[in-house]
Amino acid sequence: MNDTIKIQELDQVVIRFSGDSGDGMQLTGLQFTGASAVHGNDVVTLPDFPAEIRAPAGTISGISGFQVQFGSKKVNTPGDFPDVLVAMNPAGLLANIKDLKRDGFAIIDRDTFTAANIKKAGYAEEVDPLSPEASLHKKIIAAPITSQTMAALSDFEMDKKSKERCKNFFTLGILFWLYDLSPQYTTDWLKVKFGKKPILAEANIKTMTEGMLYAQNSGFFQSQYRVNSAPTVPGTYRSLTGNEAAGIGLVAAAHLAGLKLFLGSYPITPATTILEEVAKHKNHDVKAIQMEDEIAGICSSIGAAWAGDLAVTTTSGPGVALKGEAMGLAVITEIPLVIVNVQRGGPSTGLPTKTEQSDLLQAMYGRNGESPMPVIAAKSPADCFWQAIEACRLALKYMTPVMLLTDGYLGNGSESFRIPDESELPKLTHTMVSDPEGYFPYNRDPETLARGWVKPGTPGMRNRIGGLEKDALTGAVSHDPDNHDTMVRTRQKKIDNIANDIPDLEVLQSKDGNEVLVIGWGSTYGSIRNRVAKYQKQGKPVSHAHFTHISPFPKNTLEVLRKYKKLVVAEMNLGQLSKLLAAEFPVEVIPLTKIQGRPFTEEEIELVVDTLL
């Protein structure tokens, strides 16, 4: 026992776990996150999957990563650069050492640093990865993790492979001790997980405990750290990825609308886990259908929406491209439909596992003809829940397809989600009608301009609709030029009017003037908010506005934009929101763009904003 060890308090910490796909890094990261969240920290995570499912072991392309930021205040992002890097093999160290903060440290499994592994990782010949030059003069804690694990399990009746597989729990133990976290969360989890194989639960618990003891006694660490619990709204919490949150939001929306949920979809990275999430909830009478292709995904949903279900299709950019014609059908036949695009790097197959916001213009205009639809974007993993409900609200109330944009960063990233009370959820209305008196398919509600929704099977309401232009009242096919003009303008007006039914654009306002407004949309929220909050603490005149509703824009948008001398629009594309704002409003904007498959760092925002101050 080493009694000289002190406990230091920290506001927030970023840990990056890195190892082979088979090293269990996602699991280790999630367990650490769970323990930290239960302790009361605010947590945001981001996994980084290898692009290939079975890339060669030990190579950089086979690296699986997981980053978590936990803090005693709202952290908003998984963090830019890690304070701690856990590298379970040489490739993990080589791939990540440059990102490790100068005053941070890496914990490595010394046992995996064999000549063969070092070579496989891609180190130049005769380079010692642990030398100051190779490790960029950063601190490395070389713990014999594999051999300590084997020693800890010497009394266990298990084969060598199974014992070795426990090594990530040794690492977890080191981290639990280091951050003074209780291992209870993981102990409970292991007992449930291995209920049928108690020996595996015991082995992992033993390994984890040994890891904690090792950290305490090895002499590597002079202090422990503590990140106090964050002052969050009291309530019940759970951890959700953006895709899980979106899936649950969709099922919740069906409850709120009193309808059945139908999700017609097709597997595509990084959207598939929404389909998987919804498919779990069959006891909510949802129908989650894996169709034969993207087009069939949206078409089956259109057929279900016509039949009276709350219908949704989920996909990523390439899938949206395929669904374009069908979206037009939903626009012209004015049926409710939600299209979720979990964006990824493009064009074409692009970067399936990396994040980007480059489908905004596609969402706005990627259909033939004048084909307007509401476009909204979620700003954090938990917000995917709320925006899934918002998308359904708009679709049902206005009888229109709605595009919800998230992205790979939100979809795979997770954060603590405060479970709302049912009274906090919006009521969703729809336009279903069943009274034949005076009914015409294109009778509109004078306020929302939405037409009535009639389920086939409803007595006495028979009608026939389709993708040909329709008469403005009867819905009969019409090629009349004036009628077409009326219908095109009416469909646009219906969408424009939604501006009256959405929240105003809010600003995180600087007390020190209106010099710069940093504008974002979607997943850039966390990094912009964190950096702007720092500027404001420093007394700088920098404010932040973030768009959730992009089509239509909130009513007060121009009023907000006008107040600031300089408008910076930060987005992960070549300036798509910049174009939309400049086209719609008499303002000049400064695009701040990045297209590296990775979210903004605070530093990248600083580089541009500093020059404007």
Q: CB nearer to another protein: give 262 or 398.
A: 262
CB-CB contact of 559 with 565 (8 Å): no
Q: How far is the CB of 409 from another protein (least distance, A)?
A: 22
At position 81, the amino acid (one-letter code) is F
Burial status of residue 157 (CB atoms within 10 A of its CB: 0-12, 13-18, 19 or more): exposed
Q: CB nearer to another protein: give 63 or 310.
A: 310
Q: CB nearer to another protein: give 132 or 231.
A: 231
Q: CB nearer to another protein: give 417 or 553.
A: 417
CB-CB contact of 147 with 210 (8 Å): no
Q: How far is the CB of 478 from another protein (least distance, A)?
A: 12
Torsion of CA 230, 234, 236, 241, to 10 degrees: -40
Q: How far is the CB of 28 from another protein (least distance, A)?
A: 16
User: Locate tokens 């009349």: which residue?
Assistant: 480
Query: 218: which residues sit within 8 A by CB, 6+ positions away?
Result: 143
Torsion of CA 258, 262, 268, 272, to 10 degrees: 50
Orientation of helix 167-178 relative to helix 145-152, angle to 10°: 100
Burial status of residue 603 (CB atoms within 10 A of its CB: 0-12, 13-18, 19 or more): exposed
Query: 430: which residues sit within 8 A by CB, 6+ positions away?
Result: 257, 259, 336, 396, 397, 453
Q: CB nearer to another protein: give 248 or 519.
A: 248
Q: CB nearer to another protein: give 163 or 470.
A: 470
418-421: long-range contacts at Cβ-Cβ below 8 A with a sequence spacing of 24 or more? Answer: 418/232, 418/233, 418/235, 418/236, 418/237, 418/382, 419/235, 419/236, 419/237, 419/238
Q: CB nearer to another protein: give 43 or 572.
A: 43
- 3-state SS of 85-121? EEECCHHHHHHHCCCCCCCCEEEEEHHHCCHHHHHHH
User: Locate tokens 């908003």: which residue?
Assistant: 76
Q: CB nearer to another protein: give 250 or 609.
A: 250
Q: How far is the CB of 368 from another protein (least distance, A)?
A: 11
Orientation of helix 25-39 relative to helix 184-193, angle to 10°: 130
User: Locate tokens 């701040």: which residue?
Assistant: 592
Q: In what order do the strands lie in the sheet with 590-593?
A: 507-508, 542-547, 516-521, 566-571, 590-593
Q: CB nearer to another protein: give 281 or 484.
A: 281
Q: How far is the CB of 303 from another protein (least distance, A)?
A: 3
Q: How far is the CB of 83 from another protein (least distance, A)?
A: 24
Q: Which of 173, 139, 142, 180 is nearest to 6 (CA)?
A: 180
Q: How far is the CB of 165 from another protein (least distance, A)?
A: 23
Q: Residue 482: phi, psi to the nearest 5?
A: -70, -40
Q: CB nearer to another protein: give 443 or 509.
A: 443
Q: How far is the CB of 305 from another protein (least distance, A)?
A: 8
Q: How far is the CB of 485 from another protein (least distance, A)?
A: 22
Q: Residue 215: phi, psi to the nearest 5?
A: -60, -40
Q: How far is the CB of 468 from another protein (least distance, A)?
A: 7
CA distance 504 to 555: 6
User: Residue 479, Cβ neighbours under 10 Å: how many?
Assistant: 8
Q: How far is the CB of 391 from another protein (least distance, A)?
A: 17
Q: How far is the CB of 13 from another protein (least distance, A)?
A: 19
Quick one: residue 369, left, alpha or beta (phi over 0 = left, psi -120 to 50 = alpha)? Answer: left
Q: CB nearer to another protein: give 309 or 407.
A: 309
Q: CB nearer to another protein: give 372 or 441.
A: 441
DSSP string covering 411-451, please? HH-EEEEEPPPGGGSPP----B----TT--TT-B-TTT-PB
User: Locate tokens 């603590």: which residue?
Assistant: 416
Q: How far is the CB of 283 from another protein (least distance, A)?
A: 4
Q: CB nearer to another protein: give 4 or 236.
A: 236
